[in-house]
Chains A and B, each alone.
Chain A
């Protein structure tokens, strides 16, 4: 009996030790994560905001409303809107085709879609330059077009180039969000609808779209953030400040010019992007929360 009790005590001890170790692991991991996020993310972002206000609110508003910054903001928003619209459409098509149909080279296509994820944006920019620039193989076509129609279309070092680079860099985001959802849902529902005589549009809007709605919105948000912040690819194709510069390029230019005022202005311009990023983040969380709540409501009632 006594022996039994002893053994029990020992077992309890080991169990307690195990629980304790679990607790220690938990707190160590929490500390590491929090410290990392603080020093790598929160503090730098806070520095941007505080630095941008170093010379007062008046200077802040003056620098964000300067000619160059406003032009850069316009270019950025323009490129972003076009990139998001085109990539949403393209992403839907690509996701649809790779999940609902089987054909030769499907895997190749799926891999190609991911290229922008794995390739450096600078290389993308250079690639476009080598395609549409004066030395590019496509340049004769542009020149011919301009001479025939009397137009003055330019791609490299002009807005179209900026837009193209932004599209390229951001195009996998929408399809990458939708593909797993479409794969998980299978095609039974579409087949059932088709069997009852529903056409393609009806099937898409009544059956498929409700399934992918949240994934699509999430993909669009990611695509937007990425498009707003794109630097490398655009940098290779945009060289005129106040005309083709996007906000990240303008920030870089301000910072590089090195005067105290311009550095503060760079921070001020940066704060615009930070604010947009935070807004997007909040928007995303609201959407996620609503989606979750809706799911719970459906499951609960």
Chain B
């Protein structure tokens, strides 16, 4: 993590079998346009693949996009796997169709922030720049 760099690096990942990638691609474009470096995994990534990519790419944050209702299960597994690989310093963010009642639960298992559908662009960019500033 000692590489010199000026731009925030984000891994946007689609875990599980869910094929809805509209949101993931919208956020990828948004963050790129805001000057961040975005790596988008594409569909159907296993938890192992995501963790490996995050470590190899030395990203500042993992952003999961989930619209199949299994956000709690998949986020929990990802965070556990990061811990197992001693990479728990990489924060995890979740976007997608997330019922409001699930947000506190996601935060309890270690998700840093949740951005549901139509979350404000300004809020998203502001959050990334503020938390991961370089």
A and B: real partners? no
User: A residues bordering B, Cβ < 8 Å?
Assistant: none
